[in-house]
Chains A and B, each alone.
Chain A
Amino acid sequence: MAGIEIRNLRKQFGDLPAVDGVNLSIRDGEFLVLLGSSGSGKTTLLRMIAGLEHPTAGEIHIGGERVDGDVPPRARGIAMVFQSYALYPHRTVFQNIAFPLEASRTPRNRIEEKVRWAADMFGITRYLDRYPRQLSGGERQRVALCRALVRDPKVFLLDEPLANLDAKLRNTARDDLKQFQRRIQTTTVYVTHDQVEAMGLGDRIVVMEHGKVRQVGTPQEVYEDPVDTFVATFVGQPPMNLLALRDASLPPGTLVGFRPEHLLPRNVFGPGEELATFRFAVRRVEYLGSDRYVYGAVAESAAPEATIIAKLPGTIPLTIPEGETHEFAVPRRLLRYFDADTGLRRRP
C-alpha cells in the first residue's frame, strides 16, 4: 500500500514536451483516473510511473521512496495492465499468471496457490489450461488483471484496459473493475480517453491536455465546477454550452457556460427558482430514447448563429416543434462564468 508523489515531472521527446511539469499527489488506496485525448501525455505519465520511460526532469515517489532515478520497474512494486493486455501468446493462462511469480522466484507450490486464488477471484479458473488466443476479449482482460494481481503490487497501473472490449461488455467490466479495486484497496492509476469510464471509475479525475494537468478533482467537481473552458467542453456529453451574452451586467469578455441538461423549457421550473431565460430558436430535435437533444440558437447570444444544445430527459413529455422559438431557461445557480481570453473560470 502506498501513495504516489509526482513533482514537477517533465518528459521531452525531441522538441515535444509530452509531459510538461506535472505535480500530482495520489493518495494511498485511491482510484485515480488520468483523462485526456491522445497526445495529452497521460500514457507517458503512466509509463514514467511504471519505469518504462525515464523522466527528463522531476521526481516520482512511490510509497515515500524516490524511484525516478535508476529504480527498475520490477523494484517499484507496481503492476501494469496494457491496452492490448500483452498476454504471452505461447503460454497458457496459468503460465501467464504465474510468470511474475516465477520471475520473483516464488516457490512452486506457492505459485500454484496464488494463481488459483487470483483466477478464482476473476472467475477464470476453468480457462487456466487454455492459450490466450482461445479466449474472448473480456476473458483476456481478466487474465491480464490476474497477472497484475498476483504480484501483490503497491500500485496498479492500467492503460486503457477496457478500450479493446466491445461496448456491451464494457459496462460490466467497468463495474467488475471498480468492485475489485474496492475489495483489494490498492492505489490504482487508470489511463483513459473515455470520460464515461473516468467519471464512473475514478475517486478523482486528472484532466490532462498538452502534457499539463488542467484540473484534479472528484468526478462531481470536474463536471460541475470545471476550472476552465477546456475541461468544461472536454468532460460531458454533449459538452457544456458556452455563450457570449449581450448583457451589460457582466464584465466584458465573459463567457457563460451551462450544461445541456440544465437548459429546459421555462415552464418546467417552479416559481421559486431564479432563472436566466433565453429565447431558443429550435432547429432540430434528436430523439435518443431516454433523452432528446434539441439543437438551436440563442437570440441573446453575441454570436446568434452558434449552436446551443439542450438535453431534455424523457420525463419531460413536451412537444418541441422544429423551426419555432421557445422560452428556455437555466437556473442561475447552475451558470458558470469564464474569461473569454484565458478560458479560466471567473467569479460572476
Chain B
Amino acid sequence: MTSRRTLADREDVLGGVMLAPALAYVVLLVGVPFFLAIALSFSNATAGSLSFQWTGLGNYAAILRDPIFLRALRNSVVVTVGTQVLVIILATAAAQVFRATFRGKRVARFVMLLPWAVPVSLAAIAWTWIFDSTFSVINWTLKATGLLHGWLYWLGDPALALLAIIIVQAWRIFPFATVIVLASLSSIPQEILEAAIVDGAGFWRRLFQIELPLLLPVVAVAVLFGVVYTATDLGVVYILTGGGPANTTHVLPTLAFQRGILGADLGQGAAIAVFLLPFLIVVAIAMLRVARRAEVGGAAR
C-alpha cells in the first residue's frame, strides 16, 4: 500500500488537467478565429498582405449599400425561416408515424436517419442532379404524372433556386428534428394522452391542443439548433447554386466566402460573416426564454 497521493486523489488539480484539452480547443479553434473575424471586420485587411489599417465601421457601411449583400441577407432569412417551418411540419408528422408500431419500422427509421449521416457535399452534389435543368427527376416525375406542363429550371430561376435550397436544408435537418420530437412525445405521460381520448378529443385536437403545447419547450430548442445550423451553412448553397444565377441566391456565408476568400477582401468578408451574429444571439435568447416559459407554465406536473 502506498500512502502517496496520486493525481486521481487531488480533485482540484485533476479537474484542471481534464478540462485542459477542451479549453484549449475552445480557445484556439473557436475563440481565436471568432474574435479575429470580429477584429478583421473593422479593418481593410486583404488575403494578400499582412499589414492592414483599422477602418472602423467602413466595411459595414459598404455592405449595407451593396444590393448583393442586401439580397443575400434577405435570402438568409428566407431560407432559415422557410427551412424551420418545413422541418417542424415534417418532423411532427414523421414523429406521429414512427410512434405507431408497424412492420419494417426499424428499417424505415434507419432510412429516415440517413440524411443526417451523409456528408453535406455529397448530398448537395446528388441534389444538383435532382434539380438539374435537363435531367431533373422531379420534373420527369411531375411530367409523367401529368402535374407539370411546362418545364421548371430549378437552379436557374432565383425563386425556384431558393425553394430548392430550402428543400435540401430541410432534408438535412429533418431527421434530427424528428428524433427530438419523437423523444419528447414519448416523455408525455401516457395517461394525459388517454385522458384526452376519453374526453372525446379527436386526432387533430389532441395534436394541436395537447401534444404540441407540451412539446413546445423541446421543439423550441430543436428550432434554435436548426436556425443556427441553416443560417451558418455554406456547403449546400455553395455547391447547389454557387450564389447564382447572377448573385441572386447568395446567403451570408457564401457571400462572405466569395468576398473574403475568393475576392481576397478579408475585411468585408468578415463584416458579412459577423453581420448576423447579433441577430442570432437575440433569436437564441428569445427561443430559450420561450422554452423556459413553456416549461414553467406547464411541463412540471
**A133 in contact with B195 given A90-B213, A100-B200 (CB within 8 Å):** no
A-contact 0/1 string along B137-181, CB 8 Å cutoff: 000000000000000000000000000000000000000000000
Q: How far is the CA of A239 from the CA of B88 in the complex (A)?
A: 58
The chain A residue with its CB closest to the CB of B188 is A89
B-contact 0/1 string along A92-106, CB 8 Å cutoff: 000000011011100
The chain A residue with its CB closest to the CB of B297 is A90
Q: How distant is B100 from chain A, measured CB to nearest CB, in Å?
A: 15
Q: How far is the CA of A307 from the CA of B300 in the complex (A)?
A: 48
What B residues does A151 contact at CB under 8 A?
199-200
B65 at the interface (CB under 8 A from A): no
Q: How far is the CA of A88 from the CA of B201 in the complex (A)?
A: 13
Q: Is the CB of B198 within 8 A of A73?
A: yes
Q: Is the CB of B192 within 8 A of A88?
A: yes
A83 at the interface (CB under 8 A from B): yes
Q: How distant is A97 from chain B, measured CB to nearest CB, in Å?
A: 10
B-contact 0/1 string along A20-56, CB 8 Å cutoff: 0000000000000000000000000000001110000
What B residues does A336 contact at CB under 8 A?
none
B4 at the interface (CB under 8 A from A): no
A10 at the interface (CB under 8 A from B): no
Q: How many residues of A contact B (CB 8 A)?
A: 27
Within 8 A of A (CB), among B176-199: 189, 191-192, 194-199
Residue from A50, A82, A103 in contact with B202 in the complex, judged by beta carbons closer than 8 Å = A103
Q: How far is the CA of A98 from the CA of B213 in the complex (A)?
A: 17
Q: Is the CB of A99 within 8 A of B196?
A: yes
Q: Is the CB of A133 within 8 A of B197?
A: no
Q: Is the CB of B299 within 8 A of A89?
A: yes
A146 at the interface (CB under 8 A from B): no
What B residues does A147 contact at CB under 8 A?
195, 199
Q: How distant is B151 from chain A, measured CB to nearest CB, in Å?
A: 48
Q: Is the CB of B197 within 8 A of A73?
A: yes
Q: Is the CB of A88 within 8 A of B210?
A: yes
A293 at the interface (CB under 8 A from B): no
The chain A residue with its CB closest to the CB of B214 is A90
Q: How many residues of B contact A (CB 8 A)?
A: 24
Q: How distant is B33 from chain A, measured CB to nearest CB, in Å?
A: 42
A74 at the interface (CB under 8 A from B): yes
**A86 in contact with B194 given A103-B202, A151-B199 (CB within 8 Å):** yes
What B residues does A122 contact at CB under 8 A?
none
Q: Is the CB of B198 within 8 A of A50?
A: yes
Residue from B195, B205, B213 in contact with A80 in the complex, judged by beta carbons closer than 8 Å = B195
What B residues does A104 contact at CB under 8 A?
200
Q: Is the CB of B199 within 8 A of A100?
A: yes
A325 at the interface (CB under 8 A from B): no
Q: How distant is B227 from chain A, measured CB to nearest CB, in Å?
A: 24
Q: How distant is A23 from chain B, measured CB to nearest CB, in Å?
A: 25
Q: How far is the CA of A89 from the CA of B294 in the complex (A)?
A: 10
B298 at the interface (CB under 8 A from A): yes
Q: How far is the CA of A147 from the CA of B189 in the complex (A)?
A: 18
Q: How far is the CA of A99 from the CA of B192 in the complex (A)?
A: 12
A208 at the interface (CB under 8 A from B): no
**A103 in contact with B201 given A86-B195, A90-B213 (CB within 8 Å):** yes
What A residues does B294 contact at CB under 8 A?
90
What B residues does A88 contact at CB under 8 A?
192, 195-196, 210
Q: Is the CB of A89 within 8 A of B194?
A: no
B301 at the interface (CB under 8 A from A): yes
What B residues does A260 contact at CB under 8 A?
none
Q: Is the CB of B214 within 8 A of A103?
A: no
A78 at the interface (CB under 8 A from B): yes
**A103 in contact with B298 given A79-B198, A80-B198 (CB within 8 Å):** no
What A residues does B199 contact at CB under 8 A?
74, 79, 99-100, 103, 147, 151
Q: Is the CB of A84 within 8 A of B200?
A: no
Q: How far is the CA of A161 from the CA of B298 in the complex (A)?
A: 22
Q: Is the CB of A132 within 8 A of B301?
A: yes
Within 8 A of A (CB), among B249-264: none
Q: Is the CB of A133 within 8 A of B300?
A: yes
What B residues does A72 contact at CB under 8 A?
197
What B residues does A117 contact at CB under 8 A?
none
Within 8 A of B (CB), among A103-157: 103-104, 131-133, 147, 151
Q: Is the CB of A103 within 8 A of B205?
A: yes
Q: How far is the CA of A23 from the CA of B214 in the complex (A)?
A: 40
Q: Which of B192, B195, B210 is most buried by chain A, counting CB atoms within 10 A of its CB?
A: B195
Q: Is the CB of A89 within 8 A of B205?
A: no
Residues of chain B having any CB pair with chain A under 8 Å? 189, 191-192, 194-202, 205, 209-210, 213-214, 216, 294, 297-301
Kindly list 15 other residue pairs between chains A and B, CB separation below 8 angstroms, not including A80-B198, A90-B216: A52-B194, A52-B198, A74-B198, A80-B194, A86-B189, A86-B195, A88-B195, A89-B192, A89-B298, A89-B300, A102-B205, A104-B200, A131-B297, A131-B298, A151-B200
* 15 A-B contact pairs sorted by A residue (CB < 8 Å): A73-B197, A74-B200, A78-B198, A84-B191, A86-B191, A86-B192, A87-B195, A88-B195, A88-B210, A90-B213, A99-B199, A100-B199, A103-B205, A104-B200, A133-B300
